[in-house]
A and B are shown apart, each in its own frame.
Chain A
Amino acid sequence: MTGFVVNGRRVEVETSARPLLDVLRLDLGLTGTKEGCGEGECGACSVLIGDRVVNSCLVPLCQVEGEEVTTVEGLSSGRELSSLQRAFVERGAAQCGICTPGFLLAAESLLRRNGAPTLEEVRVALAGNLCRCTGYVKIYEAVLGASRGEAP
């Protein structure tokens, strides 16, 4: 068995090289993590392992043994949105929403390491996530706004 922690909850799944994405969505019912391409190009399946963001479609399950995995479902505590989630809502950074969980986790990873990023640092940190709706502008505003603790 492969044991790991998802959003604070300990789980065990039969060891295999199945993509972590499938285990999250199909076995654990965590469908907030999306599949956009299955080949690590779009970032829709981004989750955190520890503090680092990864494409869960490319991580074989066996590699998360003992790790802490965070998905979009783990960003808010109870019904309370995180400041990043709030900023995304308030700034209109989510349009169709399919890429949003991935962007949130890439941004979360950035802010855990760098609490006051520049615009250029935000762009670099989000370059592995594709959004087709927003032109990215409102996503930058949300991440920068959340990092500054600004009200919109």
Chain B
Amino acid sequence: MPRLDGIEKVTGRARYVDDLVLPGMWFGRTIRSRHRHARLVEIRRDPSLGWSRLVFIEASDVPGENVLALLEDDQPVLARGVIRHVAEPVALVAAPTPEEAEEAAARITVVEEPLPAVLTVEEALASRVLLHGEDNVFKRIEVKKGDVETAFGRADLVVEGEYATGPQEQLYIEPQGMIAEPRPDGGVVVRGSMQCPYYVHRALKRALGLPDEKVVVVQTTTGGGFGGKEEYPSMIAAHAALLARKAGRPVKIVYDRHEDLLATTKRHPSRVRHRTALLRDGSLLGMDVDLTLDGGAYATLSPVVLSRATLHAAGPYRCENVRIRSRVVATNHPPHGAFRGFGAPQALFALELHVTKIARTLGADPVELRRRWAMREGDTTATGQVLRWSVAAHEVLDAAVGRYRSRATPPPPPPKKRGVGVSLYLHGAGFTGSGEERLKGRAAVEARDGRFRVLAASTEIGQGTRTIFAQIAADALGVPLEAIDLEEPDTSRVPDSGPTVASRTCMVVGAVIAAAAEDLRGALARFGEGKGLASRDPRELAAAHFRERGALRVDRTYASPAGVRFDEATYTGDAYPVYGWGCNVAEVDVDTDTGEVAITRFVAAADAGRAIHPALVEGQVEGGALQGIGWATVEGVTYENGRVREDRMATAIVPTTLDAPSIETVLVEKPYPHGPFGAKGIGELPIDGPAPAIASALFDAIGALVPEIPLTPEKVLRAIEGTSG
């Protein structure tokens, strides 16, 4: 079945935020800091410009609280007093044309007095300069299972390793943007590119000091998100709304690529140390993991990213003695934030490359070692969670390795060397810990004159939300797909289903829609029986109900499966209701003259529980895999004095068609009893495994382990030359 938004997207009719023009609309620009840490002395405006014709906003103009509401209220909408990272928003201007706005922005000087900065995790932990609390630590977590000390005491050998990953840019092809429109009642309507309308709604209420009903947030067609449009859209929405209310007219802010790259959030860089206690025969006795993330200048979502990283650090393996200690620290980098995988890819890169190292140290086959250690139903995770259902570790491993071995290509001639690497991993679906219980995501299905409408705040950002929701509702109602309408994600019209993140949309919100649709079907059937109607067709019953009593709507709220419990104080219990399972096999040819790594084959086996729409699931697997491949190979974001160096598309490199291998996808289905038709989350899982599979393949090819991605030719050539003396 083709996706529902396909036709509008291939004809150019889909309207993205930059395609929208509102009558009388002005254009906004953001004035940003130049320093990484500074005292904000003064914002000077060139007096020769006619400022009375323009709109100018600084921190003192924020009518509500000058905070970007998220987990902690540490990030201002506009900097006041102190600058904490390069490209921090300081002031705003709006003008009738983009050119005039740009000209005005150029006539504003931000006077900054530099302060000592924190640019590395080590500097943060040394706490000589304090950015947050008493120790620059946003959050710390410790997970304990069994007795690690004793396990290491019993070990025949201990394998140690330290692994690092750099920041990664989401590089959605549509840059961020918002249009705000003031309402006569003092309220505001904001439209734009986003993943989470209710996050934006909450942030606007706080910053503008407005009640619920005076803020309306509408998602426009969104050109990719990957987590990058989870938290930052709230910032742009607040800026556009501030300008629009002062201007008394609509104001559009659309970032150009340069601004988007400089200012918006990237994936957290990580440093992970592993110590693993083993017996000579390959028995896994104990794991000791120490994980640190660089959170950047403000907390944003870092504590939750740390949580997911920590909960994935021991991976898909059975181990009785585990200790994981982790922390996320404050630095003067632009805030790091959500990116597909949300901490899990960093943790799993370290773990899976370390397992490859262990196999090599033991002289064991890396596939067999993983098979031996992999969890099965009934096994217990590091948090003591007993896996009661839907464990597919062995299935994905067999599927991927089987596909890889089903054909072979001849190895390349010198100077190239071939290597093969494997990774096995899991991804917790839905919010971490008690998140879903706290959030209570809602959705509704409404019967009108012979048609049905799904009301949910989950956004379509390319992954196929609308198609899947329509399918789930149609199946649960027992009506054809054509009878389903989908309400736009507009906070004045749809309930708060929670954010479109964490691989929760299909599994969690989809389950709520399925439940609501089933209830609605039952209610219509009872109505029909009560009226003595002959028809059993829900469409006819809906039409009859509509004629007599009007629309019929069922709202439902998500409830976790019975017995799913997590203790956030001790980090024990059911970290996620269920996990998706994945395995990658990467084959690489390494040019030993230049250090170039070409991926010649790439197999991705993924378990989605049940693939409700197989083509969409494959799309998630292939897209996620290539983002993981890019992160492992060419996608290096670096900082120079706290400023992003890769600040143009020409330097912010992602894979092209000639870099991308033809990804061989194998779907595995291990149904989850509490997901819609057995489905589990699939959005993030595919990005967790490619990097360690490729790094393992490189290790296999050249006999040297490169512990830090991206595996640039520079690092690879150095490693090759290190091995050849």
Contact = CB atoms under 8 A, between A and B. Distances in A.
A113 B522 CA distance: 57
Contacts of B618: 92, 137-138
A28 interface: no
Contacts of A126: 657
Given A92-B615, A95-B463, A95-B619, A136 B626 contact: yes
B224 A98 contact: yes
B11 A95 contact: no
Contact of A131 (B173, B225, B658): B173
Contacts of A129: 657
Contact of B663 (A41, A131, A135): A135
Most chain-B Cβ atoms within 10 A of its Cβ — which of A85, A123, A133? Answer: A133
Contact of A72 (B12, B175, B616, B660): B12
A94 interface: yes
A136 B657 contact: yes
B14 interface: yes
Contacts of A89: 2-3, 6-7, 10
B76 interface: no
Given A132-B654, A137-B662, A34 B9 contact: no
Contacts of A34: 16, 18, 173-174, 223
B183 interface: no
B562 interface: no
Most chain-B Cβ atoms within 10 A of its Cβ — which of A25, A41, A100, A132? Answer: A132
Nearest to B20: A31
A132 B12 contact: no
Nearest to A123: B657
A55 B11 CA distance: 18
Contacts of A52: none
B10 A135 contact: no
Contact of B622 (A37, A122, A135): A135
A37 B647 CA distance: 11
B257 interface: yes
Interface in B169-197: 170-175
Contacts of A42: 173, 649
A94 B9 contact: yes
Given A34-B16, A95-B619, A130 B11 contact: no
Contact of B615 (A35, A73, A130, A138): A138
Given A130-B173, A138-B615, A39 B622 contact: no
A52 to B, nearest CB: 18
A131 B174 CA distance: 11
A41 to B, nearest CB: 4
A132 B649 contact: no
B530 to A, nearest CB: 43
A134 B19 contact: no
Interface string B246-262: 00000000001100000
Interface in A118-152: 119, 122-124, 126-138, 140
Contact of B10 (A37, A71, A81, A127): A81
A25 B224 CA distance: 21
B300 to A, nearest CB: 21
Contacts of A33: 12
Contacts of A31: 12, 15, 18-19
B649 A37 contact: yes
Contacts of B276: none
A95 B10 contact: no
Interface residues of B, number: 56
B320 to A, nearest CB: 38
Given A96-B462, A135-B623, A138-B618, A85 B10 contact: yes
B650 interface: yes
Contacts of A122: 657
B335 interface: no
A44 interface: yes
Contacts of A38: 256-257
B257 A71 contact: no
Nearest to A94: B9
B622 A138 contact: yes
Interface string B621-637: 11111110000000000
Contact of B623 (A73, A90, A100, A133): A133
Nearest to A85: B10
Nearest to A106: B657
B531 interface: no
A69 interface: no
Contacts of B171: 130, 132
B648 interface: yes
B173 A96 contact: yes
Contact of A71 (B12, B175, B623, B660): B12
Given A92-B616, A130-B656, A135 B626 contact: yes
A97 interface: yes
A49 to B, nearest CB: 18
A92 B615 CA distance: 7
A34 to B, nearest CB: 7
A79 B175 CA distance: 30
Interface in B577-627: 615-616, 618-619, 621-627
A98 B16 contact: yes
A68 B648 CA distance: 31
Interface string B220-261: 011111100000000000000000000000000000110000
Contacts of A95: 224, 462-464, 619, 623
A128 to B, nearest CB: 8
B656 A81 contact: no
A112 to B, nearest CB: 18
Nearest to B257: A37
B407 interface: no
A127 B171 CA distance: 17
28 contacts: A25-B19, A31-B12, A32-B12, A34-B16, A36-B175, A38-B257, A39-B257, A39-B650, A71-B12, A73-B11, A76-B11, A81-B7, A92-B6, A95-B463, A95-B623, A96-B223, A97-B221, A98-B174, A101-B12, A124-B658, A132-B173, A135-B619, A135-B622, A135-B624, A137-B618, A138-B618, A140-B657, A140-B662
Given A41-B650, A122-B657, 10 more contacts: A31-B19, A36-B257, A38-B256, A89-B3, A91-B615, A94-B5, A95-B462, A135-B626, A137-B618, A138-B619
Interface of A: 25, 30-39, 41-42, 44, 71-73, 75-76, 81, 85, 88-92, 94-101, 104, 119, 122-124, 126-138, 140
